[in-house]
Amino acid sequence: MSALRETVRFFGVVRPVPRLTRIAFGGITLASSLALALSDASGPRLLLPVLVLQTFAVSTGFVTYARRGHFDVLLTGGVSREQVAIVYWLLVALPGISCWGALAFLEMAVRGHTSLLTAGTLTAMAGVSTIPWATTVPLTRFAGAIGWLLLLVMVAGLAPVDTVTTHLWRRTAGEPSWFTVVAFLLFPTRLVGEPATGNWPAIITVLTVVLTGMGSSVWWISRTSLALETGQ
């Protein structure tokens, strides 16, 4: 049996995304599909609940479960920890990515075009699928998503709302400021439906954070000591 197959089979038994979260993704996709088919609601607007749920779905907390011994069978089975970490991330991100794919396909089928496959949407999906996961790797479930929400509330409380909206919603195409880039990092969902043109600084910044977060998390998982933290 190949190591990859063994890893996927293991996480098919020890499912990293809870059943309720999977049901919620199904419900959101169904509701959004109906809205797409029966109203003139835009694809990006309908994708937002999926992105918010995705931040929670990927905030799984790998090391907490590893230190409870849940992954001992896999980690002592000869599979590299790097491979385990990457497969684990792919599987926790899969439900949200599947919903996104389904909505894009449906928008294309119903309206003849889709705004859900733009560079901005891809970047936003990469951001919400990776950054909360990477943040939560050493923490408990949902910590990354809750932390992100708290940060958003704090930023909204500290920065004048019209400043945020000026830079995010009415920014000048092709002349993004540093604030726009930081704001897009905090609010990657605002990239949904946006083309690459005029958004390169924001896209590159978000993707840099995505790759850095992913790389450092995989590196950390591969090297951290997994002392047992459960009672016997």
Partner 1 sequence: MTTTLLDVRAVSVRYGRRLVFHGVTFELPEGRCLGVIGPNGAGKTTLLRAIVGLLHPFTGDVRIRGRVPRDALAQVGVAYFAGEATLPGFARAAAWGTLGNGDAITTDQRRLRALSRGTRQLIGLRTVLGRQPLGLVVLDEPWEGLDPDAARWLTSAIELKRDRGAGIVLASHRFQDLAGLCDAYLFILPGESLWVHAHEIAPIGPVTPALLMEAFDRRRGGTPLPRAVL
By CB under 8 A, tell whether 14 contacts partner 1: yes
> How far is Cα 43 from Cα 36, in angstroms, rounded to an integer?
7
Measured in whole angstroms, how far is the alpha carbon of residue 27 from the centre of its chain?
Answer: 18
Kindly write out the interface string for residues 56-85 of this chain, putting x where it contacts partner 1 by CB under 8 A and - elsewhere. Answer: ---------x--xxx-xxxxxxxxxx----
Q: What are the tokens at 178?
A: 């540093």
Residue whose C-alpha is closest to residue 215's, from 134, 124, 142: 134
Q: Which amino acid is at 47?
A: L
Supply the angle between the helices 19-38 and 81-111 in degrees, to the nearest 10: 20
By CB under 8 A, tell whether 2 contacts partner 1: no
In angstroms, the Cα distances linking 6 to 9, 58, 76, 80 are 5, 21, 12, 11
By CB under 8 A, tell whether 41 contacts partner 1: no
Residue whose C-alpha is closest to residue 169's, from 149, 147, 189, 153: 189
CB of 3 to partner 1, least distance (A): 7
Nearer to partner 1, 69 or 198 (CB): 69
CB of 13 to partner 1, least distance (A): 4
> How far is Cα 134 from Cα 61, in angstroms, rounded to an integer?
9
Nearer to partner 1, 200 or 219 (CB): 219
- How many positions of this chain bind partner 1 (CB under 8 A)? 30
Among 20, 38, 158, 227, indicate the residue that binds partner 1 (CB under 8 A). 227
> How far is Cα 124 from Cα 53, in angstroms, rounded to an integer?
13
CB of 62 to partner 1, least distance (A): 13
CB of 60 to partner 1, least distance (A): 13
- Binding residues for partner 1, rule: CB under 8 A, are 1, 3, 9-10, 12-15, 65, 68-70, 72-81, 223, 225-228, 230-232
